Chain A
Amino acid sequence: MNNILAIAHRELRSYFVSPIAYVVVGLFALLYGYFYIASLAFMVQFSAQAGMFGGGPQTVNVNEFMIRPLLSNTAIILLFILPFLTARAYAEEKRSGTIELLLTSPLSDLEIILGKFLGALALFLLMLAVTAVHMGILFWYGDPELGSILTGYLGLALMGGSFIALGLLVSSATRNQVVAGVGTFSLLLLFWVLSWMSDSAGPTAGAILSYLSILEHFDDFSKGVVDTAHVAYYLSFIAFGLFLTAKSVDSERWRG
C-alpha cells in the first residue's frame, strides 16, 4: 500500500510541477462555467416562456432543466480532456528511461499501475471538486435536490475512472505522448458513438452496442438513480482496463 501511495503521490506531484494540472483544471473550469451559464440561461428562458401561458414566471425543476443537461455536457468535456491527463503516464517514463527505475525497484506491476491510476484519479476528482462552487451558488439562490446531484457526480467519477483506465492502457503501449492522447481520445469517442448504431444494427447487436457505449450508462446517474448494473459496468471497465495495462507492461518485457 505504501508503494502504491508513493507512486500516486509522485504522479500527482508531477502534474502540479508541470503546467498539466493548471491547464487541465483551468480549461475544465472554463468549459464547465460556459455550460453552466448556458444551462442557466436556458432554464430562465424556459421558465419565462412557461410563465406566458399562466400568470407570471413559473418555478421550474432546477434538477431536471439545469443540472441534468449540465452533467451530461460535463461528461462530454471529460471525454475531451481526460485522455490528455493520462497520455504521459507510461509514455513519458518509457521515453525518458525512468521506467527502468520503477521496473528494477521492488515493486509489483500492479502497485505501479494502481499508483498511477490513483494519481490521475486524484487530479480528476480535484477537478470535479472545483464545480462545487457552481453547485453552491444554485443552492444559495434556488432549491435543487441534493440526492440526484450526488448520484450524478458519482456517475461522473465512475465514468472518469473508466476514461483514466483506458488512458493508462493506451499510454502503456507507446512511448509517444501524442499517440497516447489521440489514441485514447479516439477509442473513447468510439465507445461513445457505439450506441448510435444500435437502432440500425438489429435487436441483439443493437443491445450489445448500446450496452457497451460508455455514456449510455451515465444517464441514470444524472436522473438520480444508482443502478448496480451501471456501477458494475464502470467498475468492470476500470478493472479490465487496468488488467490489460498490466498485461501490456509485462509483454514489453518479453518482447524486449
Chain B
Amino acid sequence: MIEVQHVTKRYGPVAAVSDVSFRVEAGQILGFLGPNGAGKTTTMRVLTGYLPPTEGTATVAGFDVLKDPIEVKRRTGYLPETPPLYPDMTVREYLTFVARINGLSAAERGNRLDQVMERTSVGDVADRHCGKLSKGYRQRVGLAQAILHNPDVLILDEPTAGLDPKQIIETRELIKELAGDHTIILSTHILPEVAQTCERVVIINKGRVVAEDSPDNLTGRLHGAVTVQLQVDTGGADPTAALHAVPGVAAVSVGEPGDEGRTIEIQSAQDVDIRRDLANAVVSNGWGLLEMRRARLSLEEIFLQLTTAEEPAGDGENAADEENAADEDLDEPAAATESADE
C-alpha cells in the first residue's frame, strides 16, 4: 500500500531524512518511532505529498507522490502534529469544509459527517468553535478531519500527544479499529504505544532507519545473551556455586534473602536455553522455586541501544539538530521548515 524507496529530503545542504526505505502492507499499522527531530514529520510530509522528496521515490496506493500528488492526497488522510483547525469555525462547519475540499457531494456529506463525529466522539462539541476546544477535542477533531473522506491510508503524526491517559487509551482503541479498513502510519516517541498498537515498527534516528521489524521480534532480536530471573527460597543456603555448576551459565548474581526468597539473575552464554537445567538444579538442592522468567529487553532499552549506540556518519547529524530545535517550538508548527532555511 505504501512503499518508500531511498527517500532523501534535503533543506539546502542539510538532510532531514537520508535514504529511508520501508513498506507497509494494506491494513497494517506501522509505528514510526524516533526521538524528537529524527525526521519522522519530514518523512510523513513526503508521504502526504506536502513535501516533494529530494531523491528517491514514495508511492501510496500505487501513485507516486511526485507525479500524481492529487491522487495520493485523495487517498490519504493526514493528521499533522498540530491539528490544522480554523479557530473561527465551528466543528461542524470545519468538517463540512474539509468534506467539500475532499470532493464529497452535499448528499454524502450529511451522513458521513454524523458518522465520523460519532466515531471520534466529537458530537457534543459540534457547534463549538474550534478555537475554544480543549487539546483532547482538538486532536479528535483533527482525527475526524483525517478519516472524513474514508481514505485508504491514514498518516497520523503523534496522534496521542497532549491527551490525558483516558483519551490516550480511547484514541489507541480507535486507531486499532480503523486499522481494518485503513493502512495506518503513526509516529510517536512513546514506546509502549508502539508495542500496544502497531504490527510493525520502523525506528528512525537522525534521518536514517536504524531498525524495522515487529515489536516482538525487535525485543527478541536485540539481546545477545539471555537473562533469566529466578525467585528461589534457599532456606539460608548460598546458591551461587550450585547455579554456576549448571552448564551454559555465564554469570550469577544473587540478591539478599527476603520474605519471598532470593532474587537471582543469571546470564546464559550466547543462545543457550538454560531454564530446564536451572529448574532441575534448584529442585535437586531441595530449594523452593517460586518464580522463573526470561527477562527481555524492553522497547525502551532497545530504543536507547539503537539510537545512541549506532552513530550514523555524515550530514544526518546536523539535520537532526536542526529539526530538534524546531520541534521544541510548539507554537510554530511549521517552524521546521523555517529553521531549515537558515
| Interface-located stretch among B25-33, B81-89, B116-124, B179-187 | B81-89
Q: Report chain B residues within 8 Å CB of A98.
A: 84-86
Q: Report chain A residues within 8 Å CB of B145.
A: 101
Instruction: Known pairs A13-B89, A106-B101; list 20 more (Cβ under 8 Å).
Output: A6-B97, A10-B89, A14-B86, A17-B89, A18-B88, A94-B334, A96-B87, A97-B80, A99-B84, A100-B50, A100-B80, A101-B80, A104-B48, A104-B76, A106-B70, A106-B102, A108-B70, A253-B52, A256-B336, A256-B341
A256–B102 touching, CB < 8 Å: no
Q: Report chain A residues within 8 Å CB of B262.
A: none
The reply to whether the CB of B137 lies closer than 8 angstroms to some CB of chain A is no
- In the bound complex, CA of A98 to CA of B145 (Å): 12
Q: Report chain A residues within 8 Å CB of B98.
A: 101, 105
Closest residue to B78 on the A side, CB-wise? A104
Closest A-B pairs by Cβ, 7 of them:
A97-B333, A101-B84, A6-B100, A256-B11, A106-B74, A106-B73, A98-B84
A256–B78 touching, CB < 8 Å: no
Q: Report chain B residues within 8 Å CB of A13.
A: 89, 93
B334–A97 touching, CB < 8 Å: yes
The reply to whether the CB of A223 lies closer than 8 angstroms to some CB of chain B is no
For this complex, 16 residue pairs linking A to B, each with C-beta atoms less than 8 Å apart, are: A3-B100, A7-B101, A10-B97, A17-B89, A100-B78, A100-B80, A101-B145, A104-B78, A106-B73, A106-B102, A108-B70, A253-B52, A255-B12, A255-B337, A256-B9, A256-B16
Q: Report chain B residues within 8 Å CB of A10.
A: 86, 89, 97
A107–B101 touching, CB < 8 Å: yes
Q: Report chain B residues within 8 Å CB of A104.
A: 48-50, 73, 76, 78, 80
Most B CB atoms within 10 A — which of A13, A17, A105, A107? Answer: A105
Q: Within the complex, which residue of A6, A14, A252 is in contact with B337, where a contact is CB–CB below 8 Å?
A: A252
Q: Report chain A residues within 8 Å CB of B51.
A: 253, 256
B76–A97 touching, CB < 8 Å: no
Q: Report chain B residues within 8 Å CB of A53.
A: none
- In the bound complex, CA of A14 to CA of B89 (Å): 8
Q: Report chain A residues within 8 Å CB of B50.
A: 100, 103-104, 253
Binary contact track B5-25/A, C-beta < 8 Å → 1, others 0 = 000010110001000000000
The reply to whether the CB of A95 lies closer than 8 angstroms to some CB of chain B is yes
The reply to whether the CB of B103 lies closer than 8 angstroms to some CB of chain A is yes
Which residues of A approach B to under 8 Å, CB–CB? Answer: 2-3, 6-7, 10, 13-14, 17-18, 94-108, 175, 252-256
How many A-B pairs with Cβ below 8 Å? Answer: 91
Q: Report chain B residues within 8 Å CB of A103.
A: 49-50
With A105-B73, A108-B70, A255-B11 known to touch, is A2 a contact of B100 (CB < 8 Å)? Answer: yes
- In the bound complex, CA of A102 to CA of B86 (Å): 11
Closest residue to B85 on the A side, CB-wise? A98
Which residues of B approach A to under 8 Å, CB–CB? Answer: 9, 11-12, 16, 48-52, 70-71, 73-74, 76, 78, 80, 82, 84-89, 93, 97-98, 100-103, 145, 332-334, 336-338, 340-341
- In the bound complex, CA of A6 to CA of B51 (Å): 24
Q: Report chain B residues within 8 Å CB of A253.
A: 50-52
Closest residue to A15 on the B side, CB-wise? B88
Q: Report chain B residues within 8 Å CB of A6.
A: 97, 100-101
B341–A97 touching, CB < 8 Å: no
A58 to chain B, nearest CB (A): 54
Closest residue to B81 on the A side, CB-wise? A97
- In the bound complex, CA of A108 to CA of B102 (Å): 12
Q: Report chain A residues within 8 Å CB of B97.
A: 6, 10
- In the bound complex, CA of A3 to CA of B101 (Å): 5
Q: Report chain A residues within 8 Å CB of B80.
A: 97, 100-101, 104
Closest residue to B48 on the A side, CB-wise? A104
- In the bound complex, CA of A6 to CA of B333 (Å): 25
Closest residue to B75 on the A side, CB-wise? A106
- In the bound complex, CA of A95 to CA of B85 (Å): 12
Q: Within the complex, which residue of B82, B102, B341 is in contact with A105, where a contact is CB–CB below 8 Å?
A: B102
Q: Report chain B residues within 8 Å CB of A107.
A: 70, 73, 101
- In the bound complex, CA of A99 to CA of B334 (Å): 9
B180 to chain A, nearest CB (A): 23
With A105-B73, A105-B102, A106-B103 known to touch, is A100 a contact of B11 (CB < 8 Å)? Answer: no
Q: Report chain A residues within 8 Å CB of B48.
A: 104
- In the bound complex, CA of A253 to CA of B12 (Å): 12
- In the bound complex, CA of A50 to CA of B70 (Å): 68
A100–B341 touching, CB < 8 Å: no
B102–A17 touching, CB < 8 Å: no
B11–A14 touching, CB < 8 Å: no
A255–B341 touching, CB < 8 Å: yes
- In the bound complex, CA of A96 to CA of B71 (Å): 26
Closest residue to A14 on the B side, CB-wise? B88
Most B CB atoms within 10 A — which of A18, A97, A101, A108? Answer: A101
- In the bound complex, CA of A126 to CA of B224 (Å): 74
